[in-house]
Amino acid sequence: DYILSIVPPRDAVSIATRISAAFNSQPTPKKTPLHFLDLNAISPRSARSIADIFSANAPAIAFLDGCIIGSAPSQSQSQVPTPTPNTTEARGSHHPKPKTPLPWSKPSIPISGSVAAVPASFSQLAETLNMKHISDDVGIASGLKCCFATVTKGFTALCIQAFTTASNLGVLPHLVEEMEAKFPASLKTARYGVTSMPPKAYRWVREMEEISAAHEEDGGFESAGKGLFSEVAKVYESVADDSVLGEEKTERRKRGLTIEDVAVAMGEGNAAKRKKSA
């Protein structure tokens, strides 16, 4: 049996604690082994602390550290062409050939920790979910996620500030024009990252704090707990708590569908917060 933990980073430890307690409350021991896969956006330190929860309180639960890199699974909307049958086959056939299934795009799921005792069924699960074992050491997969999100979500945070400030100054169209001319690929990435961000901003606050811990503890960037990504966390906190963008839901989007509207919403939110604190 497998439990996959995919929750906001702030809830990762509490979920593990609850699973551990529930496992121990069973009247009779499980006959089949239970594997707990933590796929949350947490630091290597947090992953190791969760592993310690299970080893201390529920050692019968096998723990694996993991992460999700990429967007949610989605099925292609276009049919893959099937080979055209030859004339002889076409004349003798009275049944239409089945269509080739539409392909799926899946995120990658690197995992780390010991897999020496996983059952044979794990290989099928790994193939289905696009898992890849990268290390026997707990925390390595979470560290990979932190490094990846440093580049992607760190870039998005920079763009939020750049576009908002440019909008306040009245030069956002000129900034977009310059980026289009000199860094078109970066502008395309920025458009996607900034406009898809609002419904997720509240989750990314803790994730940025976890990234900060990873860079300090595993990267050696001493910052006394006040690293670069502690400040990046504040950018997403501002989106979630100080602007109308924090009300956005993935299934019901109204605001922040363009970088221009994200900039306007953030500018309004920042101004309102400043006025309130004046």
Is there a domain that residue 79 lies in?
A: no
pLDDT of 90 > 80? The answer is no
| Domain shared by 149 and 61, yes or no | no
| Domain shared by 113 and 145, yes or no | no
- Pick the last residue of a domain from 138, 155, 186: 138
| Domain shared by 134 and 165, yes or no | no
Domain count along the chain = 2
| Domain shared by 153 and 259, yes or no | yes
Percent of all residues in the chain with a pLDDT value above 70, rounded to a whole number? 91
The whole domain housing 13 covers 2-70+107-138
The CATH number of the domain where 169 resides is what?
Answer: 1.10.1040.10
| Domain shared by 155 and 188, yes or no | yes
Per-residue confidence (pLDDT) for residue 135, from 0 to 100: 97
Is there a domain that residue 10 lies in?
A: yes
Name which residue leads in pLDDT, 100 or 236.
Answer: 236
The CATH number of the domain where 123 resides is what?
Answer: 3.40.50.720
| Domain shared by 26 and 12, yes or no | yes
Q: How confident is the model at residue 86 (pLDDT cuts 50, 70, 90)?
A: low
Q: How confident is the model at residue 79 (pLDDT cuts 50, 70, 90)?
A: low
What is the average pLDDT value for the chain, to the nearest integer?
A: 91
CA distance linking residue 65 with residue 46, whole number of Å: 10
256, 198 contact by CB (below 8 A) = yes
pLDDT digits (tens, 9 = 90+) for 213-233: 999 999 999 877 678 999 999
CA distance linking residue 212 with residue 216, whole number of Å: 6
Per-residue confidence (pLDDT) for residue 224, from 0 to 100: 73
Is there a domain that residue 230 lies in?
A: yes
Is there a domain that residue 97 lies in?
A: no
Q: How confident is the model at residue 81 (pLDDT cuts 50, 70, 90)?
A: low
| Domain shared by 127 and 183, yes or no | no
| Domain shared by 34 and 127, yes or no | yes
Name which residue leads in pLDDT, 77 or 44.
Answer: 44
Rounded average pLDDT over 172-178: 99
- CA angle in degrees (0–180, nearest 5) for 137-143-147: 150
pTM comes to 0.87
Per-residue confidence (pLDDT) for residue 102, from 0 to 100: 77
C-alpha torsion sign, points 197, 200, 201, 204: negative
Question: Of the candidates 10, 57, 19, which has an alpha carbon nearest to the alpha carbon of residue 37?
Answer: 19
DSSP state of 220: -
Percent of all residues in the chain with a pLDDT value above 90, rounded to a whole number? 77
| Domain shared by 133 and 205, yes or no | no
| Domain shared by 194 and 130, yes or no | no
| Domain shared by 125 and 239, yes or no | no
C-alpha torsion sign, points 67, 6, 17, 55: negative
| Domain shared by 7 and 119, yes or no | yes
Is there a domain that residue 96 lies in?
A: no
